[in-house]
Each structure stands twice: as structure tokens, then as C-alpha cells.
Structure 1
Amino acid sequence: MKAPRALSIDLEGQQVKVYRNLKYKGLFSVQFAGLVVAHLATVQLTGVVFKVTETGRQRVLTQRQRNVHAYAIGTFRSAPQPTATEPISYNPYHAGHFFRVQDQAPIHSAQAVVLSQGKAYASAQR
């Protein structure tokens, strides 16, 4: 298996697509311009939209095999996002959208998101 890819380009302020890596535990894959450019333990984003492709989710449900079909799409930031403290999650067997861990309410976007050590945190919706 290849080693995780370190970030070798400056992504500050760039639109990226991020998903939990299925091979490297605790790491997130960062896509820029359609290519995976890094595998990182912590990713910080602003202006985030959560996207789940239903065809990929249906494949998981029928085959019972994981595949990449859920993403956080937003602007890459290197500065800490202190407002991103509300735990969020995604489970294809539970629902076809991301949700708040505390009350299971759907979440489709957030001002800020921190993905760290395999977990996701969003800015609280008011």
C-alpha cells in the first residue's frame, strides 16, 4: 500500500472536496481540481456544503461494501476554526445525509467545519 500523501501545494482559499479515507485510518483525502492532493489528519474548511451521492449510497446498501460517496465541499483554511465544535456524522445505513450527533437532525451546510482524527465538527446552526 502506498504511503499517505503529504500536502505539497498551497491550498489556502481554494475550493476542495474532502472525504474520510477508507484505507488510512484517521486521515482525510483532499481533492483539488479533481485530483487527490493530500491525506491529512486535520482539515479545516469554511463555507461548507455536505454532498452525498445517492447512487453510491445505494451501492453500499446493496453490496454492504464501503465506497466513497459522501463529501464536505468548502474553502480550505489553515487557520483554526474555533466555531466548529458541534459533532456531526454520516452513516449510509442511517440516512442519506450528514446529521448532528446530538439530535440526529440533518445538516446540509455549515459556516465552518473541522475534520480531525476521523471525526467531524461543524459550526453550530442558530
Structure 2
Amino acid sequence: MGINTFREVVDLLDAAVEGPETVVGPPHHAFWRGVTRDQFVAIKLLGQPILVPGDGANSNLILSLKGLPPFGDKPGAEFPRMPVGFDPMPDESIRSIELWIDAGCPDAADAAETA
């Protein structure tokens, strides 16, 4: 499943929290809602960037979705696995977002609007 737009990323993140109307609480709230692709790419949580375009595997968003250090549900984890309070996101969805980040976080919708 290839992702070509930021909207698709938002849809996957919303699906992980049971829909776009679900209130997401601390520690991060629904940071993906109500922002543009450029704002999303620039977001920092707790002073750390959520992603590095071109490097999905080492982006905090992917680490948090997978529950890899420093994120996780096990004792010693510095931060909780995302989404907090919900079931983990399906591996296929995480992989799709990771590949989107690897591709530089494209937004085909923006490209179509400027063409």
C-alpha cells in the first residue's frame, strides 16, 4: 500500500485511534490533525522531531508506532508506545508511513494543485 499524500497519513493515524473524531489525550494529543504536510514534517514533540524525511526507520514517529526504544510498553521505556491508550497500529500501516517518510514525505495533492 503506497502512500502519496499527507492526507493518507492522517487517515492511517486517525484509524489507529478509532476515527477522526476521537479525542486523543496526553502525552501528544492528535498532533497530525489540523496541520499542513509542511507543518507536520516540522513538528517536534518533547523537543524532538517526529520524523526525518528520507529516514523512516530512524524517525521517532515510526519508532513510537513500533514500540522501539526509547518508546515502548515495557519497564525502562522512556516514552509510551503510540497510540497511547489504543491497540497498536497494524504493521502494514506502519510500514506504509515508513515508506512515505523514506520517499521524502511526498504530497501528490500539493503537486497536483501547483501543476
TM category, shorter: under 0.3
More strand by share: 1
Give the TM-score taking structure 2 as reference length. Answer: 0.27
More helix by share: 2
